[in-house]
Amino acid sequence: MIITDMVGNDQPKEITVYFAVSAPNVRSGEYVFVTGSTPELGEWRASDALQLTLDEEKSAWTGNVSAGPGIIKFRYFSGYYLKSDNNAEPSLVISKWETFLSPRCLMPAVEEKDGVCKPNHCDEFGHYAGKCMLSGGWILTQSQSEILLRIHGSALRFYKNRHIQKCYRLKVAPLDLRQKQELVADDDFEDVADEHTDPGMPSYSSTDIAQCLKFLYTFIFVDTNKALSHDDPAYHDQDEDGNLFENGNDYFIYRTQSVAVEYLGFRIEVYGERDGKWEMIGMAYAMPSSFPGDFGKAALPILKKNGLPVGKIDVDYLFIHPLKIPHPDQLTNVSYRKHWKKRSTLEVGHRGMGNSYTKFAAARENTLYSLDAAAKKGADYVEFDVQLTKDRVAVVFHDFHVLVSVAKRTPSLLNLTCDADKRQIVDMHEMAIKDLKYDQLRLLHLDHVGHHDIDHKMTKVTGEINEADEFRPFPRLSEALMKVDPDVGFNIEVKYPMMQKDGLHECENYFGRNEVIDVILSDVLNHAGNRRIVFSSFDPDICTMISLKQNKYPVLFLCVGDTTRYVPFLDQRSSTSLTAVNFAAGTELLGVNFHSEDLLRTRVPVDKANQFGLVSFVWGDDLSTKETLDYFKKTLIVDGIIYDRIGEIEERRNVFLVERELKKGLFKASPSPTPSRAVSFSSFETANNNSDDSESSRTGSPPMPVLHMPSVGSLNISTNGLSVIQQSNVA
């Protein structure tokens, strides 16, 4: 970017801007990059960022660009390259990136000396303005996938008693099956193949481990499945000799990135202790044929060095692919994945104005009218459920099934028009939303799955024929994003059916997780604008995938916890509130949405979430009285509460509107008794508005120079007690 010197020189003024950053924790084989607002820095496209060079004398990564005197905003990130084969272009994979709400900023026109800007300055990776904030990367390119392997519970089983012990050591190594020398652990276990080919740039990353959960099973005065938090549940390098795994108690998650999943395999090394020394018991191999889909469970034989099986190991797997449906470019200029500005507890309208099918609410739940009504009642956010129809339309609806009204076969058409009992001419059949197309949902007469009595008094799913669209069920997600009051935030719960502990599945033969998330994310990224968005889901894998397929919006893990009201899920990660906290911390989610039933017994999960810097929301039927609401708002001081009939117990106003009014009042110009010495910007603004090559004509942003006052975010205290500047409406 070269801009004409503002003092009137005819020649453009070039300034050499230097970047230097200390990044001691960057792994071998990784690089540090600068992404920023200028063309030289990629205009916030990570794939076009400036790659820095390691200066070993300075112990810093350095680089420079030629730029004009205009403001430069930028961030650092670390990453590495993978290649699917020798003829392919390298693919950039982001390891860590700076996710401060406001990026770094420098002003070459002010900071330069003799045409050079900051030649001796060195930044610290992840540290800026008194804050430390680094987040894991997201799936950047269409060739990249992330693969998760989970080993948990009683995963190891052996055929002979001499191999059975309490603890083992496990090590997982990814393989490119085209490279023969990778198929063995060491020379002692098996001779390396004679043929040796140089693998060059790898097609996969190293495998990290997250020891997110640990379970203690005891039956004396203690509930089962109590989570024991690891000091640091985040992903980290595996130990050189494998990590200690207590069979029956531990929960390990391994992750690897790959750009050639069709050739990706894994070698799992199992070590046992004998005479005080750790010796290899055997190895298990996971080949591409072991993973028939994107999600599932594989039982892998553990083989001795002579090839004989000595046991088997159960491994859950999940393949997370890039977002395939068209969507805007995912830039690095802003991210809210880990940003949450501390303020008084946000109040969230449950399904808009509340549950209407099994309770009484002022409006039919999950309709445009209900969502807008909650906004008018002062809701800060509205929470609603999203799932897919048979023709892959994302709609707002809570239950996986509905009752479809079907006319019975009758001997005479007269029976269909007479005043006979409805039960004699109508049957109600349960069908899954996924088995009905969008138009069918709008045309058929439907009722709630709990309404088997035709004469029930609760709100029906299908209303009157002449109802306006805003009152009708099954609005499209895209409609809600475009039509509901833009000042109210959306807490979008992504519905995905799960296996319950009673052996029943919520909805079998469902769409794949990648497909569901792609449709929903495409709608949000294309239509959300500046609306505040927070995702949530009871399915922990859905939460992980949302955070990896996009880099902008935060995710909350919804947790049932220890409950007597609902059938709990089989997945151990949601078995208790404490395990949910550990999972959210380990996978870098924004926080946990707790069940009120659990927190009314103990506040420990919220305290633990606070220790990890997580955001805490609460949902549940208990949130129906002012006393309970006040307990969560004033005693536990959670970040958000989700409840029915918002604004009916006591009147309230949307906190974001209140803050906006306060900001306007604070910065309102007061009459001056003397002529102002400030420069008037009106003439500049007019000139810029009439200029064909102004900044606004290229980017759609306001013309420059225009005085922009800081947003409300700069007047509030952030999570770590430091002021932040909020740049949009998404927090």
Residue 149, domain CATH? 2.60.40
Cα angle for residues 181, 183, 187 (degrees, 5° grid): 65
Residue pair 43/83 in contact by the 8 Å Cβ criterion: no
pLDDT of 718 strictly over 80: no
- The answer on 178 and 86 residing in a single domain is no
- 341, part of any domain: no
pLDDT at 199 over 60: no
Structure tokens at 441: 């949902």
* Residues 52 and 83 occupy one common structural domain: yes
Residues 407 and 552 in one domain: yes
Give the domain extent around 307. Answer: 145-320
| Residue 336: inside a domain | no
Residues 524 and 646 in one domain: yes
Q: With respect to residue 723, please indicate whether it lies within any of the assigned structural domains.
A: no
Last residue of a domain, one of 110, 136, 162: 136
User: Residue 365: pLDDT band by 50, 70, 90 thresholds?
Assistant: confident
**159 and 260 assigned to the same domain:** yes
Q: Is residue 558 part of a domain?
A: yes
Structural domain total, the chain: 3
Single pTM value for the model: 0.85
Whether 155 and 122 map to the same domain: the answer is no
Give tens-digit pLDDT for 571-583: 999 989 999 999 9
Lowest-pLDDT choice from 480-494, 617-631, 639-653, 685-699: 685-699
Nearest Cα to 440, choosing from 400, 491, 393, 372? 393
Amino acid (one-letter) located at 488: V
**What is the arithmetic mean of pLDDT over 15-41?**
97
The answer to whether residue 663 sits within a structural domain is: no
Let me know whether 357 and 424 are in one domain. Answer: yes
Same domain, 108 and 165: no
Average pLDDT for 127-142: 95
Percentage of residues in the chain having pLDDT higher than 70: 79
- Taking only the tens place, the pLDDT of each residue in 433-449 is 999 999 999 988 888 77
What pLDDT, on a 0 to 100 scale, did the predictor assign at position 179? 85
Which of the residue ranges 149-163, 557-571, 681-695 would you say has the lowest mean pLDDT?
681-695
Structure confidence at residue 354 as a pLDDT band (50, 70, 90)? confident
| Confidence label for 7 from pLDDT (cuts 50, 70 and 90) | very low
With beta carbons less than 8 A apart as the criterion, state whether 346 and 382 touch. Answer: no
Mean pLDDT along residues 243-257 = 95
CATH at residue 18:
2.60.40.10
* Domain end point (choices 87, 102, 136): 136
- Read off the pLDDT of residues 485-526 as tens digits, 9 standing for 90 and up: 999 999 999 999 999 999 999 999 999 999 999 999 999 999
Ranges 210-219, 425-434, 630-639, most confident:
630-639
- Compute the mean pLDDT over every residue in the chain, rounded to the nearest whole number: 84
Q: Give residue-wise pLDDT tens across range 532-589.
A: 999 999 999 999 999 999 999 999 999 999 999 999 999 999 989 999 999 999 999 9
pLDDT beyond 90 at 27? yes
Q: Give domain status of residue 326, yes or no.
A: no
The CATH number covering residue 468 comes to 3.20.20.190
Q: How far apart are CA 351 and CA 348, in angstroms?
A: 9
120 and 62 housed in the same domain: yes
Q: Domain boundary residue among 278, 302, 320?
A: 320
Mean pLDDT value of segment 659-680 = 65
Q: Cis peptide leading into 705, omega within 30 of 0?
A: yes
- The 10 Å Cβ neighbour count of residue 216 is 12
Q: Note the pLDDT tens digit of each residue in 45-94.
A: 999 999 999 999 999 999 999 999 999 999 999 999 999 998 899 999 99
Residues 214, 80 share a domain: no
455 and 485 co-located in one domain: yes
Q: Are residues 289 and 413 in the same domain?
A: no
